[in-house]
Homo-oligomer: A and B are copies of this chain.
Amino acid sequence: MKTFNFTFLLFFTVLLAACGDKSSSGNVSAEPQQTYEWKLVTSWPKNFPGLGKAPETFAKYVERMSNGRLKIKVFGDGQMVPGFEVFDTVSSGAAEIGHSGSYYWKGKAPAAQIFTAIPFGMNATEFNGWLHYGGGLEMWRELYAPFNLIPFAGGNTGVQTAGWFKKEINSVKDLKGLKMRIPGLGAEVLKKVGGIPIALTGGELFTSLQSGAIDATEWVGPYNDLSFGLHKAAKYYYYSGWHEPGASLEFIVNKSAFEALPDDLQAIIEVATRAVNQDMWDEYTAANNDAMRALVDTHGVDMRPLPDDVMAALRVASAEVMQEQSAADPTFAKIYASYNAFQQGVSKYHQISEMEYYKNREGKE
C-alpha cells in the first residue's frame, strides 16, 4: 500500500500543478470564471442610426473585452418592453442595463432632465467636462440611487436643431399658437412664449407634419432628420438650435447586477460606456456633416438662425423655466446650481477660445 499511496500523491501533485495557480510563472489564476448574460433594453428602434447604434457598439466592446464572459443582448423599443419603460425595467432588475435619455424620467425625478440637455445650457464638450470633472456624475448617481440604478453617460448628439417649421418665423408673434412637437424643458419654454407643445413619438412626426396636425417639429439634427424624411413632408424652414445644445444619452445599470460582477467586468462596463460616449458623438459629427450637405445640395434646404428677438425671448423664458423648476424641487435646485456654476465659467472661456476660433477660422469678423 505504500507504493500505491506514493504513486497516487505524485499524480495528485502533478495534476494540481497542471491546473492550478500559475501566477508565479507568468500566468494568472485559472479558477473557473463565471459567465453572465445580460439584457439591455433601449428606447430606440433596434439599430436606429446614432442612438440605436451606441448600445450595439457597447455590447460588442464588452463581449470582446470580457472574452465572452459578459454577453449582452440588445432589445429595441418594444422588443422586450416599450421604450418609456426602460427605467422601471432596469430598476426592477428584469433587465440588467438600459440605454435611453434621462429626461424621459422627469416623472420619477425632475432633476433627471438636467442630464440630457437644458435650453441655452452646456454643449457636449462642456457637459462632459462638468459630468466627469465637475461633480456632475456623483450627483446623477445620488439621484438614481433610490431606484437601484447606476447611470453613465451614453453618447451625445451634439447641438440639436430648433427643427422644421411650415411658416417662416420672423418674430415672437409667429410662435403664438404654434403647434410644435417638442419635449422636455424646451416644451415648457415654448409654452411661455405662447406656443403649444405637442407630445409625439418619432414615428408620428412625418405624417403629423404632412397632415397639418402640427405646424412644426424638432427631432435631432440633420443625420436623423434626413433619415426620417422630414424635409419631404412639405416645404419647411429649418432653424439652428437652442433647446438641446448637446443632448447626452444614458446607460443605466441595475445596481445589484453591477455589484454582483467581479471587479474586472465592472471596469469593462465603466470604460466601455466612456468609449461609447465619445463614439456616438464622433458618428454624429461625421454623419451630420454628410446629411447637412445632402439637405443643402440635393434637397435645397437652407438652415438659418432664428431672428434675434425670438432668441432673446426664448432665452428669457428659459431662465424663468429653470427658476420655476428649481423652486419646485430642492434636488433640481441643488444639481442645477452646480451645473449652472460650471456653465458660467466655461461659457466665458469658450467665448474666447472655441467661439473666437470658429469666427477667426472663417474670417467673419
From A22-30, A40-48, A172-180, A206-214, give the one contacting chain B.
A22-30
Q: Per-residue 0/1 for A289-307: is the Cβ within 8 Å of any B Cβ (1 yes, 0 no)?
A: 1101100000000011110
Which of the residues B240, B264, B279 comes within 8 Å of A353, measured between beta carbons? B240
With known contacts A275-B271, A345-B293, A363–B64 Cβ distance under 8 A: no
Which residues of the partner chain B approach A315 to less than 8 Å between Cβ atoms? 360-361, 363
The reply to whether B303 and A352 form a contact with Cβ atoms under 8 Å apart is: yes
CA–CA, A362 and B315, complex, Å: 9
The reply to whether A360 and B311 form a contact with Cβ atoms under 8 Å apart is: yes
Which residues of A does B touch, CB under 8 Å? 4, 7-8, 11-12, 15-16, 18-20, 22-23, 26-28, 30-35, 61, 64-69, 120, 123-126, 128-134, 158-159, 161, 221-222, 240-242, 245, 262-264, 267-268, 271-272, 274-275, 277-279, 281-290, 292-293, 303-306, 308, 311-312, 315, 342, 345-363, 365
The reply to whether B264 and A66 form a contact with Cβ atoms under 8 Å apart is: yes
- A292 (CB) vs chain B CBs: closest residue: B349
The reply to whether B120 and A361 form a contact with Cβ atoms under 8 Å apart is: yes
Q: Which A-B residue pairs are the 8 nearest by beta carbons?
A: A19-B19, A129-B285, A133-B286, A274-B275, A64-B267, A355-B358, A67-B264, A278-B278
With known contacts A308-B365, A351-B362, A245–B285 Cβ distance under 8 A: no
Which residues of the partner chain B approach A289 to less than 8 Å between Cβ atoms? 129, 342, 345-346, 349
Which residues of the partner chain B approach A221 to less than 8 Å between Cβ atoms? 353
Which of the residues B15, B126, B354, B361 comes within 8 Å of A16, measured between beta carbons? B15
Which residues of the partner chain B approach A19 to less than 8 Å between Cβ atoms? 15-16, 18-20, 30, 32
The reply to whether A357 and B282 form a contact with Cβ atoms under 8 Å apart is: no
The reply to whether B124 and A125 form a contact with Cβ atoms under 8 Å apart is: yes
Which residues of the partner chain B approach A345 to less than 8 Å between Cβ atoms? 289-290, 292-293
CA–CA, A313 and B303, complex, Å: 30
